[in-house]
Amino acid sequence: MLSPISWKENTVRILRQTKLPDQEIWVDIESIEQLAEAIRILDVRGAPAIGVAAAFGIAMVAHKHATSDKQELITIAEQASKLLASTRPTAVNLFWALDRMEKKLNEVRDQDASMIRSALLKEAQAIQEQDIQACLDIGKYGAELLPEAGNVLTHCNAGALATGGYGTALGVIRSAIEQGKDIRVLANETRPLLQGARLTTWELQKDDIPVTLVCDNASGALMRQGKIQACVVGADRIAANGDVVNKIGTYTVAVCARRHGIPFYVAAPTSTIDISLSSGEEIPIEQRAGAEITHPRGVCIAPDGTQTINQAFDLTPATLISAIVTERGVAKHPDMPNQLLEFCRIET
């Protein structure tokens, strides 16, 4: 099973996703500053994967500092957590994972430095293992929603590359195919950073899953032509009412799907649900550099000085979502908010 993040001899090994599909480059992260930069520039991306990487980052910084002074070690870990928390504002899994690491740190803060290091690493490993299992469970629940045969549209990359392994939206598709369903994937290119073109197609081709790349602005036309039977996407944050924030362009897909009577599913672990927010309007939307639009992969495609709006995510209201698939069940209307709340209350 492909996993973009692993622990290796007190370092965090990552697959540099900005280099795909041209080059498959694995890098050993040696410092918390290096990891923070990798998250900022999207070498590590996808809400669950960011959370896993952050957890390993806290473990790494503890192991890299040889001090036997436990208070010094705690301070170093806390400073690392603050740095990682500043990298990306939208994906709540980042803050969820850092909160888990902080709780573990508080549980063991009276133990010696060696025990603290060991406890932090075990917690980070548990976060990754639980994320992979959550994806497997999401896949099983979500596969039941997909047709026996047909084309399924996905937007951005919510596969193994975006998680601890297996994937959320792509996990649903993988599971459906494993069950014998004749599913073919249509992958939106996902401008401006082309995660669908660069990552989803690469990942699915490695698994011999049929995938066809389409322009973002072709989705509506393909739906009208009857060439899409379902849509499934991931999420970066889900509000208590079921509103979903995901990669920019998701809202457009959801609107078109509703217009054409096509089910629109969201697949995400409960760590992506932020029950502290009553609606998606409260979710911060990351604004990124305009050069990502005017100079994709370093190639100039717009005149110098062109003004841009480059918000990385958009809000899809719960009313446009057919179901939200989690590792603890499927939330549907009209009781979606209560179901999401119940899923979050279930003890892991």
Q: Report the candidate in 279, 286, 255, 257 with the shortest Cα–Cα distance to residue 340.
A: 279
User: 57: which 2 tokens?
Assistant: 């980052």
**What per-residue string of b and e applies to 76-98 under the rule 16 or more CB within 10 Å gives b?**
bbeebbeebeebbbbbbbbbbbb
228-to-90, 195, 277, 314 alpha-carbon distances in Å: 29, 20, 33, 22
CA atoms within 13 A on the CB side of 156: 29
Contact 97, 87 (CB under 8 A): no
Contact 186, 151 (CB under 8 A): yes
Contact 123, 100 (CB under 8 A): yes
Q: Return the number of other C-beta atoms located less than 10 Å from residue 319's C-beta.
A: 12
11, β-bridge pairs: 8
Q: Return the number of other C-beta atoms located less than 10 Å from residue 178's C-beta.
A: 11
- Set 43, 137, 236, 243: catalytic member: 236
Q: Is 236 noted as a catalytic residue in this protein?
A: yes
Write the single-letter amino acid at 109. R
CA atoms of 77 and 73, how far apart (whole Å): 6
> For residue 311, what is the DSSP state?
B
Q: Where do we find the tokens 């399924």?
A: 152
Tell me, rounded to whole angstroms, the distance of Cα 250 from its chain centroid.
14
CA atoms of 284 and 238, how far apart (whole Å): 12
CA atoms within 13 A on the CB side of 159: 27
Enumerate the active-site residues.
Answer: 236
